[in-house]
Amino acid sequence: MKILIATQKPFSEAAIHDIHEMLEASGHDVELLEKYPGEAELIEAAKDAEALIIRSDKVTPAVMAAAKDLKIVVRAGAGFDNVDLAAATEHGIVVENTPGQNSNAVAELAIALMIFAARTQFTPSTGSEIQGKRLGIQAFGNVGRLVGAKAKALGMEISALDPFLKDEQIVEGGAKPVHSLEELYSTSDYLSIHIPALPSTIKSIGYDLMMKMPKGACLVNTARKEVIDEEGLARALEERPDLKYFADVAPDNYAELRERFGLRVFATPKKMGAQTAEANMNAGVAAARQIINFFATGDRKFQVNK
Ligand code: 3PG
């Protein structure tokens, strides 16, 4: 089978080496397409591929229509908002993710962003400590739980909102359960977002929620830029000179926000939460293993377009 690894943001060399070795040992041919400019190059490379390993690469209806032999797409990572699931299902293509494999890397970045914000982006002005501050976690999944555990060890008070979990499960994860966004935002000095980008969550966080945040609060977004209502964010930052927004990755209006609000905003230029050697290896190897199992036994444990 031809397996195409298509990554605009490449995996580490070590991860590529191990992915290659595993797939080839199982009798598959591997092709690598890295740092490609856009859809046209992906369409060309995917047209005779039977499996595709991607990261945040966009797998559009046009890619799937052109890839006539494609049977499986594995998103090496958690969020699969970059894959058109309806088109995949229509073409009989299985889509999987590799949940949990890069969570620790993202959780570490969320903590780093909090400290970076508390220390005014490592400028000499007097900052603050995160110990003793209240951290609200919006969605208590793989990443949210890790952020909570790390923040607790740093002396923060943790609360979490997750409509898919029972209170007992949130308590078991070390957080105090909270039952509404209003309550979460109004009681959090730091608010860490871990929701996926879905039609129901896109632009769901903006002016109203930010204005509920306590004095000096910081919104930390290592999820997706799309969940933020950027106009609302700018309005809240304007009206509340005490609020901060720290994110992986940059909102579309980042240049304007930086100009207007300076060190109260920060965003990574390229999404880098999962960009560690360990996360590359974990997610990449998991993707290879899932493809091997799919072709060998029909295993679809991680299918997301059921
Ligand atoms: C994810 O959804 O797993 C993360 O956002 C990582 O995305 P990346 O593989 O593009 O870094």
Residue-wise pLDDT for 89-140, tens only, equals 999 999 999 999 999 999 999 999 999 999 999 999 999 999 999 999 999 9
On whether the CB atoms of residues 44 and 282 are closer than 8 A, the answer is: no
On whether the CB atoms of residues 110 and 104 are closer than 8 A, the answer is: no
On whether the CB atoms of residues 286 and 299 are closer than 8 A, the answer is: no
Pocket of ligand 1 (CB under 6 A): 9, 55-56, 77-79, 102, 271, 273-275
User: Ligand 1 mean position to 274 CA, how many Å?
Assistant: 6
Q: Which tens digit of pLDDT belongs to each residue from 218-259?
A: 999 999 999 999 999 999 999 999 999 999 989 999 999 999
What is the model's pLDDT at position 141?
98
What is the model's pLDDT at position 239?
98
- Residue with CA closest to ligand 1 atom 5: 79
Ligand 1 binding pocket mutation candidate from 7, 102, 302 (most atoms within 8 A of CB): 102
Ligand 1 binding pocket mutation candidate from 56, 270, 302 (most atoms within 8 A of CB): 56
Q: Kindly provide the residue ranges of all beta strands, DSSP E only, lying in the chain, ordered along the sequence.
A: 2-7, 29-34, 51-54, 72-75, 94-97, 134-138, 157-161, 176-177, 190-193, 218-221, 244-247, 265-267
User: Ligand 1 mean position to 1 CA, how many Å?
Assistant: 26
Atom of ligand 1 nearest to the CA of 9: 10
Q: Which tens digit of pLDDT belongs to each residue from 166-218?
A: 999 999 999 999 999 999 999 999 999 999 999 999 999 999 999 999 999 99
Q: Which tens digit of pLDDT belongs to each residue from 10-47?
A: 999 999 999 999 999 999 999 999 999 999 999 999 99
Give the Cα separation of 88 and 209 in Å (integer): 35
What is the model's pLDDT at position 122?
98
Amino acid at 261: F
- Of all helices (H) and strands (E), which one includes residue 18? helix 13-25
What is the model's pLDDT at position 60?
98
What is the model's pLDDT at position 41?
98
User: Ligand 1 mean position to 55 CA, how many Å?
Assistant: 6
What is the model's pLDDT at position 47?
96
- Residue with CA closest to ligand 1 atom 3: 77
On whether the CB atoms of residues 121 and 263 are closer than 8 A, the answer is: yes
Q: How far is CA 181 from the centre of its chain?
A: 20
Ligand 1 binding pocket mutation candidate from 5, 226, 271, 304 (most atoms within 8 A of CB): 271
What is the model's pLDDT at position 170?
98
- Residue with CA closest to ligand 1 atom 2: 79
